[in-house]
Amino acid sequence: MKSSGSEKKKEYDKMVQNTSPKPKLLINCVKAFVVGGAICVLGQIIINVLKYWDFNKDDAAMITSMFLIFLGSLFTGLDLYDSLGEFAGAGSIIPITGFANSIVASAIEFKKEGYVLGVGAKMFTIAGPVIVYGTISSVVVGIIYFFFGG
Amino acid sequence: MEYFKAFITGGIICTIAQVLMDRTKLLPARIVVLYVVLGTLLTGLGLYQYVESFGGAGATVPIIGFGFALGEGVMKEVDKEGLIGAFTGGLKATSAGITAAILFGYLAAIIFDSKPKK
Amino acid sequence: MGTQVGTQTIKFDNMPKIVSHAAIVGPKEGEGPLASYFDQILEDVLWGEDSWEKAESKILKEAVLMSIKKASLNLSDIRYIFSGDLLSQLIGTSFALRPLGVPFFGVYGACSTMGESLILAAMTVEAGFADYCLATTSSHFCGAEKQFRFPLEYGSQRPPTSTWTVTGSGAVIVSKIGTGPKITYAIPGKIVDLGAMDPMDMGAVMAPAAADTIVSFFKDTGKQPSDLDLIATGDLGKYGSKLLIELVKKEGYDLTSNYIDCGMEIFDSESQNTLAGGSGCGCSAVTLAGYILEKMEDKEINKLLFVPTGAMLSTVSSNEGESIPGIAHGVVLEN
Per-residue pLDDT of C73-95, as tens digits, reads 999 999 999 999 999 999 999 99
The third-level CATH classification (topology) of the domain covering C182-334 is: Peroxisomal Thiolase; Chain A, domain 1 (3.40.47)
> Which residues of chain B neighbour A49 with C-beta distances below 8 Å?
none
Residue B118 lies in a domain: no
Q: Which domain holds residue B44?
A: 2-111
pLDDT over threshold 80, residue C159: yes
The CA-CA-CA angle for residues C243, C245, C247, to 5°, reads 65
Query: Where in chain C is CATH 3.40.47.40?
Result: 15-175, 182-334
**Bridge-partner residues for C280, per DSSP?**
none
Interface contact B105-A103, CB threshold 8 A: yes
Distance from CA of C155 to the nearest CA of A (A): 4
**Helix residue ranges, H only, C75-192:** 91-97, 113-126, 141-148
Q: Which of C51, C161, C208 sits opposite A12 (nearest CB)?
A: C208
C53 to chain A: nearest residue by CA?
A: A112
Residue A45, pLDDT score: 97
ipTM at complex level: 0.95
- Whether C157 has its CB under 8 Å from any CB of chain A: the answer is yes
Closest CA to C74 of C24, C26, C132, C119: C132
pTM of the predicted model as reported, rounded to 2 decimal places: 0.95
Give the tens place of pLDDT for each residue, C299-320: 999 999 999 999 999 989 989 9
User: Under 8 Å CB-to-CB from C181, ≥6 apart: which residues?
Assistant: C17, C18, C293, C296, C297, C304, C333, C334, C335
Count up the domains in chain B and report the number: 1
How far apart CA A62 and CA A50 sit, in angstroms, is 10
Q: Considering only the top CATH level, what class is C15-175?
A: alpha beta
Whole-number Å distance between alpha carbons of C197 and C112: 19
Exposed/middle/buried for A14, CB within 10 Å: 0-12, 13-18, 19+?
Answer: exposed
CA dihedral A19, A23, A24, A29 (to 10 degrees): -160
* Average pLDDT of the residues in C119-140: 97
CB pairs under 8 A between A and B: 281
E strands, chain C, are: 3-5, 9-11, 17-25, 40-41, 80-84, 104-106, 132-139, 164-165, 168-175, 182-187, 230-233, 259-261, 278-279, 303-307, 309-311, 326-328, 330-334
What is residue A107's predicted lDDT score, i.e. its pLDDT? 97
- Transcribe C173-231 into DSSP letters: EEESSSSS-EEEEEEPPPPB------TT-HHHHHHHHHHHHHHHHHHHH---GGG-SEE
A20 neighbourhood in chain C, CB within 8 Å: 160-161, 201, 203-204, 239
Instruction: Please report the number of interchain residue pairs, chain A to chain C, with beta-carbon separation below 8 angstroms.
Output: 92
Q: Per the CB < 8 Å rule, is C152 touching A126?
A: no
Over residues A71-127, the pLDDT tens digits come to: 999 999 999 999 999 999 999 999 999 999 999 999 999 999 999 999 999 999 999
The yes-or-no verdict on residue A1 having pLDDT over 90 is: no
Give the span between the Cα atoms of C18 and C36, in whole angstroms.
21
Amino acid (one-letter) located at A99: F
Distance CA C11, CA A142 (A): 72
Residue C194's Cβ-count burial label (10 Å; 0-12, 13-18, 19+) is buried
Q: Does B116 fall in a domain?
A: no
**Looking at the domain assignment, is residue B117 inside a domain?**
no
| Residues A89, C157: C-beta atoms closer than 8 Å | yes
Span A32-47, pLDDT tens digits:
999 999 999 999 999 9
pLDDT of residue B27: 86
CB-CB contact of B78 with B92 (8 Å): no
B104 domain residue, yes or no: yes
pLDDT band at C1 (very low <50, low <70, confident <90, very high): confident
**Inside any domain, residue B90:** yes
Residue A106 with chain C: CB contacts under 8 Å: 151, 154
